[in-house]
Amino acid sequence: MGRQADFCGILIGVEWSERSLSLKEAKAVAQASGVKNVILLCNPSMEFANEVTRTLRPHALQLLCHETPALVKELKSSLSCEIWKTVHFKGLDGQATPEEYAEAGADALLVDSVDSSEGFERLGGTGKVGDWEAVADLKEVIDIPIFLAGGINPDNVADAVSTVRPHGIDLCSGVEARRGRRDPEKVRALMLRFKKAAGEFNDLPASRSG
């Protein structure tokens, strides 16, 4: 495939996503992934976050929704894994600023897009490209890794890398045959183009398939 993904993103208990799994299903995927696992949760309780971490021992928990900086700080102080936070441009009601999450101790931010066309907020997996110039500007003021998500596909991945130079990219709808089902040819094409684009820089980004 040209380059294996560095992380495997696994959604658990995310009601609005067709890609979401139960904890039992997620455990099977995590054990088979062969790479570092990142578990995606939406507004989790501390109790559930602890259960997920004990069961799966992930590299990171990624918070997808309206979680507060206070929760980021609490999770960071109590769990052994990294804490990543998804942020949405331009802003999401009830969500703090990227700077506030960084100050709370988030280990990384993932910038994604929002889609409300289905009558609810779909946070991630939207297929919609965000404001890459704004993400590039954010990199200048945030001193933690920034991953880029939102409609990245084989045709635009080179532009994404050259414009933003993110720490990594997140693969989802842009490499699917249909929602929730990967297209192996799209994945292969994207990874090859990603590797070529990233090879132009010394700070080679990472990729994540979720």
Residues 6+ apart with CB under 8 A from 208: 5, 6, 7, 8, 9, 38, 147, 168, 169, 170, 171
Q: Would you say residue 175 lies in a domain?
A: yes
Q: Would you say residue 118 lies in a domain?
A: yes
Q: Would you say residue 209 lies in a domain?
A: no
Q: What is the mean pLDDT of the chain?
A: 85
Structural domains counted in the chain:
1
Q: Would you say residue 210 lies in a domain?
A: no
Question: Tokens at residue 120, please?
Answer: 């609810």
Domain span holding position 148: 7-203
CATH of the domain at 11: 3.20.20.70
Q: Would you say residue 2 lies in a domain?
A: no
Q: Would you say residue 208 lies in a domain?
A: no
Task: Determine contact, residues 178/172, Cβ cutoff 8 Å.
Answer: no
Q: Would you say residue 135 lies in a domain?
A: yes
Q: Which is more confident, 54 or 3?
A: 54
Q: Is 64 helix (H, G, I), strand (E, B) or coil?
A: coil
Question: Tokens at residue 157, please?
Answer: 């991945």
d(CA 75, CA 130): 28
d(CA 134, CA 139): 9
21-63: pLDDT as tens digits = 999 999 999 999 999 999 999 999 999 999 999 999 999 999 9
Q: Would you say residue 158 lies in a domain?
A: yes
Q: What band does 182 get if pLDDT is binned at 50, 70 and 90?
A: confident
